[in-house]
Structure 1
Amino acid sequence: MLQLPRAAKRAISVIIDIFAILISLSLALVLSRDAISIDSALSWLGLITWLLIGSIAVFVKLGLYRAVVRYVSVRAFGVVLTGAVFSTLFLWALLIAFNVDLPATGIVNYGLTALLIIGGSRFAMRELYHRMVSRKKIPVMIYGAGSAGRQLAQALNNGEEYAPAVLVDDDKTLQRTLLLGIPVIDSSGVPDAIERYGIQRILLALPSAPRSVRKQILESLESFNVKVQTVPGMADMVNGDMSIDQLQDVRIEDLLGRDAVEPDPALMQQHIRDKVVLVTGAGGSIGSELCRQIVLQKPKALILYEISEFGLYNIERELQEIMQRHKLKGITIYPIIGTVQRRNRIAAVMKSFHVQTVYHAAAYKHVPLVEFNMVEGVRNNVFGTWHTAEAAIAANVELFVLISTDKAVRPTNVMGTTKRLAELVLQGLAERNGSATRFCMVRFGNVLGSSGSVVPLFKKQIEQGGPVTVTHPDITRYFMTIPEAAQLVIQAGTMGGSGAVFVLDMGEPVKITDMARKMIHLSGLEVRSEQNPTGDIDIVYSGLRPGEKLYEELLIGDDVVECDHPRICRAQELTLAWPEVEVLLERLNDACQNFRIDELREILLDSPTGYKPSDEDINDLIWTNIKQ
């Protein structure tokens, strides 16, 4: 029947309604048989004929046959009610016209019976269809019986993939009730419900719940061999970016359970609103998020400085869409291709656009790759920062913010050492007389979803059936979401004097192995091990990579100063006077220029960065091949 043409389905609906009218009239006559006066069979035949024609015509006019029965809703009942009332009034008029005597109770009985059969048949067909289709759907549990949970259940009922079997909510007023025909239970009944209903997925419908609450719920669901997914965040649904039924895999930030602090609007706007802002590395993970946050603060102009043509194209197009969506006017976006290693290029950009604020995010950040390419790491991270800072001084830039890293603290790799040197360069420039530019550095750990992040790698490995590769069983890292990191960077730039190093509160460090296990479990799979040889996914330890260390730190010492923001503090650390920095830069430049990697390594070891390489061998790929 479902495969019949639409016209045939409408014809069947008309036939059903004709029988419904005839049955309703027959019941009305039977119930009122003692008070009926039948003078002429011909009169009754005419009355019935006109009643059918008039009633069906009214139903057609009301659009009753345009409604798809399988999706019929409570609103359709209003149409049926209106049609039944018109049909009843039409019957009353026909009784007078054909001089047929039927008591008022019979007319009322006809109307009620017609309403019951015509409306009931449609809801019965809908229920029959849903029951039939539900047998082929995947049974799911919806965690959260609030507005989002109910909307999700309704959307899934109308879909063809999932069937909501049970709702879970800790609200006692909802428990042991039925919502949309679905039972509501409390969290203690989850294990029994999974077994009873054969639940294959759990859908977390708590878009506005704090991350700490979501973390607790996810930890309680982790032990079940069921895939857990979530509905989009409230912001995505409000913006229209995603709908309630566009399910997502569990986000790692929910597993961390740390709620972001709302940014201070005054701090966010202080160096951006109506100013000309430049972001280096604008196409990267942090740089692009800085651009998104900056454009929402309504700068006069935003200059995107990026060496990657593709990255620059992507962020420029995205920012145009953001401005259109938020109806932001009067902001000019300038996409500029360039490298921070060319001082004349970046200086020309700053001077020509009269830049007032600079966020320096351009850097090589991947630890093993910088180990393999030492000269380029030093050139880009140290000299690129120096050239950009000198260009800012020459252009009378008001604020220069360096995006630093926790790997700059007691570094065991070249990347961290170059970032610590970049900090020393800016601190030396801050002490040098004659500069109106205020320099500051913001140091934080790993951001979720950045290029090279383990999270998308783990997700891809799980989708491919494993194994999930972790470098070491004990390796731990700090994590923060990219939007929160970008917001804190912008706010930190408003605090302290020139040369200040700010450290972001990254929360508690996370053991990477635990993160991998949680991601596997919440994907509905089990970790394969000696204790569980029938598991689905192996966790394989590949060994620490060149320059990698087990634990990251955010501070070199314990001397910190609290700031106005609860997630930002200022570090009190060793600085170098500019003459000393200048000598160091000259030595580095000479070693890089002549490709003396062994000398370059010695300079890095002698520099006041605390560099202690985890590998005694030099890992630069060109150098090792030359030596061979």
Structure 2
Amino acid sequence: MKNTVRSLLIFVFDLFAVVVAWLGGSLIRFNFEWPEEYAQPLLLGLGVMLATQAVACRWAGLYRGMWVFASLPDLKRVLKAVALSALVLVVLIALDRGNPAIPRSLMLVYPVLLLVVMGGGRAAWRMWKEHNLYGGLIAQGKPVVVVGAGAGGLMLVRALERSADWRVVALVDDDRSKWGLELCGHLVAGAVDELADVLADHRAKHVILAMPSAASDVLRRATDLAVRAGAHVFTVPGLEDLMNGRVAINAMRPVAIEDLLGRAPVRIDTAHVQAMLAGKTVMVTGAGGSIGSELCRQLARFAPARLVLFEASEFALYTIEQWFARRRPDVEIVCLAGDVKDSARLDEVFVAWRPQVVFHAAAYKHVPLMEVRNAWQAVRNNVLGTLRVAEHAQRYGAERFVLISTDKAVNPTNVMGATKRLAEMACEALHSRGGVTQIEMVRFGNVLGSTGSVIPKFQEQIARGGPVTVTHPDINRYFMSIPEAAQLVLQAAAMGQGGEVFVLDMGEPVKIVDLARNMIRLSGYSEDEIRIEFSGLRPGEKLYEELLADSEVTRETPHPKLRIARSRPVAASFLAELNAWLAQSDPVSDDDVRRGLLRWVPEYTPMGGRPALRVVEMPTQGAIRVNS
């Protein structure tokens, strides 16, 4: 009922606009004197224009828009209605043979006046309503400077104007052509480098980044300038979504370290991935871990028949189960507790569910923990566990088996990296035996926010008041987001033909000490308040991570962020010796583990403080004998 009344009132206004434009145009034509002799043709023409307006406005859809939000689409509808009225007027004047006739000057004056009244009325109504709704907020809220005066800045400023929490005082942008101009009544005060002065001039302590397409170095520079000036820096997640009206301004959050690492959004061939997964039973081992759980979330997008979630940690399995219950109840999941080394349990799972695609993400990955007193467990979990799951995938006819590997497998200096390289080699040997199962490996570096990673550790240390501990001033690492890594794993899996080691583009390495400094500043502290201490390299830790071994070459793939590494060939015959080594039931010391790993992984170089290991012979079957 309310909408009907509103539409009727707008309809009456549009008819009124015809009367004003027609009579106004007639008065202009006759120098504001009413011509009695023209009264009959003018009134006849007015009647025709009123009837035309009624039809034109309905045809143009003028009553679908809300005046309080009148904008460019509404103006286009007004133009369509006016254009139709003008066309009818031209026809009417051409057919009018009376004497006196409708003045021809109305063909120009009437459409202009009609457009002014209809469009201006809508604009005036919006201005009046916005003043009533939001005018009182102008002097309220915290003063804020917006970085970026482009399309993103425009939409952000409009949203902020409707918020009682914020008051835009200025904008900055590196585009010189915008300096001194205004955006929605707010001055573009200068370049990003002048941010500190602009903050001081307006006594503002808050900055919002509105640069969705800016390079990461620009974001880092703006953030650094703001933090040094003592301001709090915010961003709106998915600013493109804000521009499309899909994200509310209350979703604004402080800038996180992930925003400054410069990872471009990943685009994958969804049709190719969909063809691999749709309607299939997909199994993920380590389904509750950082990578495994994100893989499960990404897999749910591609309509699998079911997801088999295999996990050793009860709590992790419960957590991912609850996520699916809340977010994706439409996806069938099978939550199974179990150990990847347990052949009997794997038999039970593969017989019951017959997974067609298997992603093996279960692994021990913490370098220092696996280096001392846990080395044999790292071997059993990372190598034996991988071997068992891959063998079962082959035995039960899975279409694909995908091993999640790591950059630490390249020229490893630690037990964890060496076990992951040995797991890769075992998969390559299994694939060389043939069969229907395509076995692939995907190797990448650190993921942001994963369990045991450096970022959560730094956050905890900052929350305690410091110090923040960095092992070495020169240590660096590659980083990517967990969703990015998971998507590229899926792309590599769909692209592989079997036997490949895919290497993800990890971008540029990041110095850990710079990461620590940025996190301290983003938390609102200076290095004087929270200091950085260097604690020394931990057991097995490298200064620099590598994605390719020295002896390896790569070839391109159709995806710009994926390459294929060609490592040295691995003979299938070494599996028998490997299995014999893995089958030991007695405890194995850390030093014996390292000797065994060096036998299988010649590029493994244990760090200082370990027993001297020397390669003396490489037999023809590919194994390496070691003397200590």
Please say whether Structure 1 and Structure 2 have the same fold, judged by a TM-score greater than 0.5. yes
CA change 1:371–1:398 in 2 (3 A) is same
Residues 1:453 and 1:243: Cα distance change in structure 2 (over 3 Å): farther
Q: Which residue of 2 aligns with 1:616?
A: 609
Q: Aligned partners of 2:133, 2:285: CA distance in 1, in Å? A: 62
Q: How far off its partner does 1:495 sit?
A: 3.2
Tell me the residue number matched to 2:328: 323
Deviations 1:491-519 (A, max 9, x none): 11233443221111111111111222223
Amino acid at match of 2:282: V
1:448–1:179: structure 2 CA closer, same or farther, 3 Å change rule? Answer: same
Partners of 1:398 and 1:365 lie apart in 2 by: 27
Kept after mapping to 2: 8 A contact 1:430/1:438? yes
- Report if the CA contact (8 A) 1:206-1:231 is conserved: no
What is aligned with 2:460? 460
The alignment partner of 1:593 has SS state of coil
Using the TM superposition, give the Cα deviation of residue 198 of structure 1 relative to its aligned residue in structure 2, in angstroms.
Answer: 2.0
Task: Kindly state the Cα deviation for residue 313 of structure 1 after the two structures are TM-superposed.
Answer: 2.0
Please state if 1:274 is matched with 2:275. no
| Letter matched to residue 142 of structure 1 | V
**Partners of 2:576 and 2:338 in 1: CA distance:** 25
> Which residue, out of 139, 142, 145, partners 1:141?
145
- Alignment of 1:565 with 2:569, yes or no, is no
Q: 1:586 to 1:155 in 2, by over 3 A?
A: same
Show the counterpart of 1:184.
188
Match of 1:584 among 572, 578, 583: 578
Q: Which residue of 1 aligns with 2:204?
A: 199
Runs (5+) with no aligned partner, structure 2: 1-66, 70-123, 612-628
Instruction: Name the CA distance, whole Å, in 1 between partners of 2:256 and 2:417.
Output: 28
Amino acid at match of 2:430: L
Q: Judging changes above 3 Å, is the alpha-carbon distance between structure 1 residues 486 and 238 closer, same or farther for their aligned structure 2 residues? A: farther
Structure 1 equivalent of residue 428 of structure 2: 427
- Secondary structure of 1:610's counterpart equals coil
For residues 237 and 397 of structure 1, do their structure 2 counterparts lie closer, same or farther at Cα, with a shift above 3 Å needed?
A: farther
Q: Secondary structure at the match of 1:493?
A: helix
Inter-partner Cα distance in structure 2 for 1:474 and 1:302: 42
Distance across 2 between alignment mates of 1:231 and 1:168 = 17
Distance 1:392 1:440 in 2: 12
Q: Which residue of 1 aligns with 2:27?
A: none
Task: Name 1:544's counterpart in structure 2.
Answer: 537
Aligned residue number for residue 83 of structure 2: none
Q: Which residue of 1 aligns with 2:471?
A: 471
Structure 2 distance, partners of 1:588, 1:182, is 69
- The offset of 1:163, in angstroms, is 3.6
Amino acid at match of 1:386: L
Cα distance change of structure 1 residues 340 and 577 upon mapping to structure 2, 3 Å threshold: same
Give % identity. 46
Query: Residue 304 of structure 1 contacts residue 333 of structure 1 at CA under 8 Å; is this kept in 2?
Result: yes
Q: Which amino acid aligns with 1:285?
A: S
Inter-CA distance 248–461: structure 2 relative to 1 (3 Å threshold): farther
**8 Å contact 1:503–1:569 — kept in the other structure?**
yes
- 1:571 match: secondary structure: strand
Alignment length, in residue pairs?
Answer: 487
1:531-585 C-alpha deviation (Å, 9 max, x unpaired): xxxx322111111111111011111124212222111111111233233232123
2: CA distance, partners of 1:182 / 1:474: 44
Question: What's the secondary structure of 2:567's corresponding residue?
Answer: coil
Q: How far is 1:172 from its partner?
A: 6.5
| CA–CA distance in structure 1, aligned partners of residues 132 and 394 of structure 2 | 77
- The separation in 2 between residues aligned to 1:339 and 1:240, in whole angstroms, is 46
- The letter for the 2-side match of 1:437 is T
Over the aligned positions, Cα root-mean-square deviation in angstroms equals 3.3
Q: How big is each residue's C-alpha offset from its partner over 1:98-134, in whole Å with a ceiling of 9 and x where there is no partner?
A: xxxxxxxxxxxxxxxxxx9xx99x9699867764x55
Q: Deviations over 1:280-307 (max 9, x none)?
A: 1111111111111111011111111111
Aligned partner of residue 404 in structure 1, secondary structure:
strand
User: How far does residue 427 in structure 1 lie from its aligned partner after superposition?
Assistant: 1.0
In the aligned structure 2, how far is the partner of 1:596 from the partner of 1:128?
Answer: 74
- After superposition, the C-alpha distances for 1:452-484 in whole angstroms (9 at most, x for unaligned) are 121232233334432221111000111111111
Q: Name the aligned partner's letter for residue 520 of structure 2.
A: I
Note the C-alpha offset of 1:239: 11
Cα-to-partner distance string for 1:316-359 (whole Å, 9 max, x where unaligned) = 232344436xxxx5x42211111111122123212221211001
Shift in Å, 1:601: 2.8
Could you tell me which runs of 5 or more consecutive residues in structure 1 were left unpaired when the two chains were aligned.
1-73, 77-115, 528-534, 619-628
Secondary structure class of the residue paired with 1:540: strand
C-alpha distance 194-213 of structure 1, shift in aligned 2 (>3 A): closer
Larger deviation: 278-287 or 226-235?
Answer: 226-235
Q: Which amino acid aligns with 1:539?
A: I
Per-residue CA deviations over 1:210-231 (Å, capped at 9, x if unaligned) read 6565456446656544332211
Using a 3 Å threshold, how does the CA distance of structure 1 residues 593 and 270 change in structure 2: closer, same or farther? farther
Q: Taking structure 2 as the reference length, what is the TM-score of the superposition? A: 0.70
- TM-score under structure 1 normalisation? 0.70
8 Å CA contact 1:226–1:525 kept in 2: the answer is: no
Query: What is the one-letter code of the residue matched to 2:420?
Result: K
Partner residue of 2:397? 396
The range that moved more, 404-413 or 370-379, is 370-379
Contact 1:224 1:521 in 2 (8 A): no
Taking the aligned partners of 1:253 and 1:206, their CA distance within structure 2 comes to: 15
- Structure 1 range deviating more: 607-616 or 383-392: 607-616
Q: C-alpha distance in 2, partners of 1:75/1:598?
A: 75
Q: Where does residue 378 of structure 2 map in the other structure?
A: 377
Give me the whole-angstrom Cα distance separating, in 2, the residues matched to 1:158 and 1:238: 15
Whole-angstrom distance in 2 between the partners of 1:383 and 1:369? 19
Mapping of residues 62-73 of structure 1, within 5 Å: none
Residue 308 of structure 2 corresponds to residue 314 of structure 1 = no
**Alpha-carbon spacing, 1:241–1:371, altered in 2? closer, same or farther (3 Å):** farther
Cα gap change, 1:287/1:603 in structure 2, threshold over 3 Å: closer, same or farther? same
Shift of 1:381: 0.6
Q: Quick one: distance in 2 between partners of 1:536 and 1:597? A: 41
Instruction: Give secondary structure in 2 for the equivalent of 1:578.
Output: coil
* CA distance 1:172–1:362, change in 2 (3 Å): same
Contact 1:208 1:234 in 2 (8 A): no
CA 1:313 to 1:242, structure 2 compared with 1: closer, same or farther past 3 Å?
farther
Secondary structure of the equivalent of 1:452?
Answer: coil
Determine the C-alpha separation between the residues in 1 that align with 2:150 and 2:502.
41
The residue type paired with residue 165 of structure 1 is: V
Q: Which residue identity does 1:432 align to in structure 2?
A: R
Q: Which residue of structure 2 lines up, in the alignment, with residue 168 of structure 1? A: 172
Match of 2:592 among 586, 599, 604: 599
**Separation (CA, whole Å) in 2 of partners of 1:502 and 1:357:** 17
Aligned to 1:342: 342
